[in-house]
């Protein structure tokens, strides 16, 4: 896994097109958290906050030991829901939407990603706590890749 690499629009579009679940439930959400924690512990040893939203309900909301706040998490989720794209796509593509300048509600940076089931956006993943928001994004993408690979859906 590579972190802090540059990312382009075509890569972001491919991620949003390809990282699609056929089924998603609370066990899948827990697997996502487990995957993110394993990646963080293996590569960074930093406490992060993790949230998974499905159909407007919080399925999982975790702060690893040592993380003292998760103020970025709701803002990243709100950006995904408002734009229907990853928060990094919103930044990279300079996507405009109503309220986007309200920094108390939105975070136009990496770390939020749409939860797509059968090609419909049904929620969002968010990770916060890395030194770089691009790493937050890469953690999400890597964790989703692992789940889809384990289910034979990749």
Q: How far is CA 83 from CA 26, 88, 108, 146, in A?
A: 24, 11, 10, 25
Q: Are 64 and 22 in contact (CB under 8 A)?
A: no
41: CB partners within 8 A, 6+ apart: none
What are the structural domains, with CATH classification, of the chain? 9-150 (3.30.450.150)
Phi, psi (deg, nearest 5) at residue 16: -70, -30
Q: Which of 89, 3, 88 is nearest to 40 (CA)?
A: 3
Phi, psi (deg, nearest 5) at residue 19: -90, 70
Q: How many residues does the chain have?
A: 154
Q: How far is CA 119 from CA 1, 99, 123, in A?
A: 26, 26, 12
Q: What is the DSSP string of 47-89?
A: --EEEEEETTEEEEEEE-TT----THHHHHHHHHHHHTS-HHH
Q: What is the pLDDT along the chain (154 residues), one digit of tens a residue?
A: 344 356 788 999 999 999 999 999 999 999 999 999 999 999 999 999 999 999 999 999 999 999 988 899 999 999 999 999 999 999 998 988 889 899 999 999 999 999 999 999 999 999 999 999 999 999 999 999 999 999 887 6
pTM for this prediction: 0.93
CA distance 131 to 36: 15
**Terminal CA-CA length for the chain:** 17
């Amino acid at each position: 896994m590579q972190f802090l690499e540059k990312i382009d629009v075509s890569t972001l579009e491919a991620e949003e097109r390809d990282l699609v679940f056929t089924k998603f439930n609370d066990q899948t959400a827990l697997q996502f958290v487990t995957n993110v924690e394993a990646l963080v512990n293996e590569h960074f040893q930093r406490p992060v906050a993790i949230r998974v939203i499905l159909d407007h309900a919080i399925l999982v909301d975790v702060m690893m030991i040592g993380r003292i706040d998760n103020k970025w998490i709701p803002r990243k989720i709100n950006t995904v829901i408002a734009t229907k794209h990853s928060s990094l796509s919103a930044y990279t593509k300079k996507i405009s939407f109503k309220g986007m300048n309200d920094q108390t509600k939105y975070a136009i940076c990496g770390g939020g990603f749409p939860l797509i089931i059968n090609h419909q956006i049904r929620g969002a993943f968010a990770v916060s706590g890395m030194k770089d928001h691009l790493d937050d994004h890469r953690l999400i993408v890597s964790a989703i890749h692992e789940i889809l690979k384990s289910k034979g859906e990749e």
